[in-house]
Amino acid sequence: MKVFALATQKGGVGKTSTTVNFASSLALAGGRVLVVDLDPQSQAGAALGVNLIGEDQLARSLGWALQARLQGMRMPMPDIWFDRTELLEDFGGQGTLHLLASEESTMTAAQDLIHKKGFQSTPILRRMLLEAAEHFDFVVIDTPPAVSSLSATALAAADYVLTVCVPEYPALKGAAATRGTVRYVKDRTNGECDPQYLGVVLNRSNPPSKWKGQEVNIRNGMLEAGLNPFQRDVRTDNRISDSFAYGTPAVIRFASHAPGKIYAELMHQVLARTTQPEEKWEMPERIEPVEDARSSDE
């Protein structure tokens, strides 16, 4: 089982859309996939058509499960995850798609409890996931867009960490800060957790004909900051954000169109890095600034 965390310290960059579409691509390719919604805003759950409403649903929230475990009680994971494999039913030979869903009040309470118990509780999610390893090939974690005990828990749970960036300067700083945080996880968990930083996904990018000075600088900046950008970026496409309203990721709704093809290509590039030494990773080349790109921001 490989565990991926999608993390960034800057909100509004499309982290959740990247999470659910990457996870769905893995499932469409035949993987047994679990999406973990660790964000109290519960957007990954909504993107997969799950909203926790009512007492019976709240009892299945990841927030409750984390609180129970932190207080010495065990809640069987299969009892709380949601099977969303039905979203793949139009595709032959697919894998499975499950969700550990979030809810604001229970997740906020879990966050407070993790913070209160200190660094020794940080590996709690990793321990829970390892107990379910026989059920899944891949786990993809959606994280809060801020520095918090939940973010630390997500990084500690991961084997691999990806950041997400958009062609804006604050997003580049947020991605760089996240990479820096990953370096300290092993020490802060006394060696129990040791995630590897895989790279940054450039989201909501433009085609080269529409690049402005800022986008050129961001693309070069990702390389200069050692963020290891993937060759496959995700172009701006309203179909990706609109798919939230349908509770079905764009990679499923538009599998044979641009969203499906882009995320499938990104998925293969991500998986390739998990099997290669960093010096063999393929990355985009630096772009020489051109007069048109510089002047378009003036």
Tell me, what's the pLDDT at 294? 43
The pLDDT of residue 293: 40
> pLDDT tens string for the chain (298 positions)?
999 999 988 888 999 999 999 999 999 999 999 999 999 889 999 999 998 766 667 888 999 999 999 998 888 889 999 999 999 998 877 799 999 999 889 999 999 999 888 778 899 999 999 999 999 999 999 998 877 889 999 999 999 999 999 999 999 999 999 999 999 999 989 999 999 999 999 999 999 988 889 999 999 999 999 999 999 999 999 999 999 999 999 999 999 999 999 999 999 999 999 999 999 999 999 998 766 544 444 4
Tell me, yes or no, whether 104 lies in a domain: yes
What pLDDT does 297 receive? 44
What is the residue range of 26's domain? 2-161+178-198+238-267
Q: Which residues contact 3 (CB under 8 A, 6 or more apart)?
A: 126, 129, 138, 139, 141, 157, 158, 159, 160
Cβ atoms within 10 Å of 82's Cβ, excluding its own: 18
Q: Which residues in 37-75 are b (16+ Cβ under 10 Å) and which e?
A: bbbbbbbbbbbbbbebeeeeeeebbbbbbbbebeeeeeb
Does residue 69 belong to any structural domain of this protein? Answer: yes
| Residue 203 belongs to a domain | no
In this structure, is residue 215 part of a structural domain?
no
* 65 closest CA partner among 83, 82, 85, 48: 82
Residue 284 lies in a domain: no
pLDDT of residue 58: 80
Residue 217 lies in a domain: no
Number of domains in the chain: 1
67 located within any domain = yes
Question: Across the chain, how many H-helices and E-strands are there?
Answer: 14, 8
Asked if residues 106 and 134 have their Cβ atoms less than 8 Å apart, the reply is no
Q: Residue 291: its pLDDT value, please? A: 61
Q: Do the domain assignments include residue 225?
A: no
Distance CA(118)–CA(169), nearest Å, equals 33
- Note whether 10 and 167 are within 8 A (CB): no
Q: Write the CATH number for 121.
A: 3.40.50.300
